[in-house]
Amino acid sequence: MKKLLFTSIVVLSALLAHGQQALSISGLALDSSNTAIANQPVWINKYSNGSFFTQQLVYSDALGYYNYTTFSQASTTFQVMTNDCNGRFYSNSYLATAIDTSFDDTLRIGCQGLPALNCAPNMVKMASSSGLSLSLRDSNSSNPIPNAMLMRYWTFGDGTFSTTYNNANVSHSYSQAGSYTVCMIKNIVDTLTKMVYCEDTVCNAYTVSNSSPPTFCTAYFEVDTMASGGASLVLYNRSTPLHNNTRYATSYAWDFGDGGTSNQAFPTHTYTGAGSYTICLTITSIDSSQNICTNTYCDTLGVDSAGNVLYKNSGAGFTLNVLNPNALGVDEIKRDNTVEVFPNPTNGNVIIKLAQTPNDKVQWVIINSRGQEVLGGVESSHSRNFNINVDPLSNGVYQLKILDGNAVSSCKLMVF
């Protein structure tokens, strides 16, 4: 790969009155084999009293030479800039004083710098778009040029426009429904000289309407604190419509918070270390009329280094299992050997049968998947059997705890 050798010679001569001087700036562009480089771009920036004043772009001729003549006053700074074969910019500066007659300088420019500049705009629609409101963002916010600014000029297809500076997001409200072509012109601009390093354009068509987005789908999952522990975290996917509902075509997008993803309804995912992770589930469901509903639910879950759910693992990692709650049967309800609960699952009253007659009052409490006590009471009949009415509870999986003196028994309780 060739290197670029750039030679700049600045010659000063006092030709004019009023304190101005004619300044001839010339140079030679050569590669590492001393071959002249034609059409090499050279930017000449002029600063007066510390402020940017003008900019001129010139190109080398067929023999590699360029030349530019201007006028300067004492203490005028000129910056000569060029780029290497990969697009990276290099520069040298010259301070013109009343006694200077010439400058001789060489810029040696290699090809090992940044890749060729490309603004690479990527316009995507944001989930916050709704009705006649359209929210967009440029998903490529990288800026390879130090001290440069990302400028985006947006046209919304209805005669309006907007300009954003170092902000990848934009929102626009339309006055009426329809399909609009939105374009984004993206520039990387030097904040001082205003030199444009690159410019690229992307256009997409978007449709907006007065109607509200469909709401027949809901993404939701919950943790089973009874079944979770050690190196396993159990979730139930309780999203609606159900995955086997033939009236809807439903897809799933899991984000496990560590870079891992899945498009299965009931996936398994292994984490490499204990910790807390933000897990998100997005479902997209299409009904028979081709109405599209999208909904997202997120929760922060995981295990600590002691193996406790989130809030049960040795720190070496753990596995997340997403289960279908409708596939669970009675055989999967594990009971504590000191207490029996039936019927289980239940949709009303349950009978509690203790292993032995209690000596004192028995306290019971029902805990939901988030560890919250949602129902409780005290049984003072001193009987081995008693009833609990669970009508106030929503459908779900709960933990039932029985406190008999110093003994604590627990089991899983399902309500449907």
Q: What is the structure's pLDDT at 146?
A: 64
Chain segment 255-306, per-residue pLDDT in tens: 988 888 999 999 988 888 777 788 899 999 988 877 778 898 888 876 655 5
* Domain that includes residue 348, residue range: 333-415
One domain, residues 287 and 343:
no
Q: Which pair of tokens denotes residue 155?
A: 């046209």
Higher per-residue confidence, 22 vs 141: 141
Tokens coding 387: 């009833």
Let me know whether 292 and 231 are in one domain: yes
pLDDT at 275: 76
Q: What is the pLDDT of residues 48-57, one digit of tens each?
A: 766 656 667 7
Whole-number Å distance between alpha carbons of 40 and 28? 9
Confidence (pTM): 0.36
| Angle at 113 (CA atoms; ends 107, 119), nearest 5 degrees | 115
229, 288: one domain? yes
Residue 115 lies in a domain: no
Rg (CA), the chain: 36
Of 373, 377, 378, 413, the C-alpha closest to 397 is 413
Instruction: Select from 148, 180, 208 the last residue of a domain.
Output: 208
Task: Say yes or no: 71 and 100 in one domain.
Answer: yes
CATH value at residue 384: 2.60.40.10
Is the pLDDT assigned to residue 85 strictly greater than 70? no
Within a domain: 213: no
194 and 234 housed in the same domain: no
Q: How far from each other are the two terminal CA atoms of the chain, in whole angstroms? A: 71
Q: How confident is the model at residue 12 (pLDDT cuts 50, 70, 90)?
A: very low
Decide if 42 is inside a domain: yes
Q: How far is the C-alpha of 397 from the C-alpha of 371, rounded, in Å?
A: 12
Q: How wide is the angle at C-alpha 398 spanned by C-alphas 397 and 399, nearest 5°?
A: 140
- The total domain count for the chain is 4
Last residue of a domain, one of 327, 351, 386: 327
Is the separation of the CB atoms in 301 and 221 below 8 Å? no
Final residue belonging to a domain, choices 149, 176, 208: 208
The three-class DSSP label of residue 330 is helix
Rounding to the nearest 10 degrees, give the CA dihedral for residues 400, 402, 408, 411: -30
Tokens 């600063």 map to which residue? 47
Mean pLDDT of 147-151: 81
Over range 146-163, report the average pLDDT.
88
**Alpha carbons 80 and 92: distance in angstroms, whole number:** 6
In a domain, residue 66? The reply is yes
**What's the longest Cα–Cα distance across the chain?**
116
Q: What is the CATH number of the domain that holds 280?
A: 2.60.40
Position 348 in a domain: yes
Residues 174 and 237 in one domain: no
Residues 192 and 140 grouped into a single domain: yes
pLDDT band at 18 (very low <50, low <70, confident <90, very high): very low
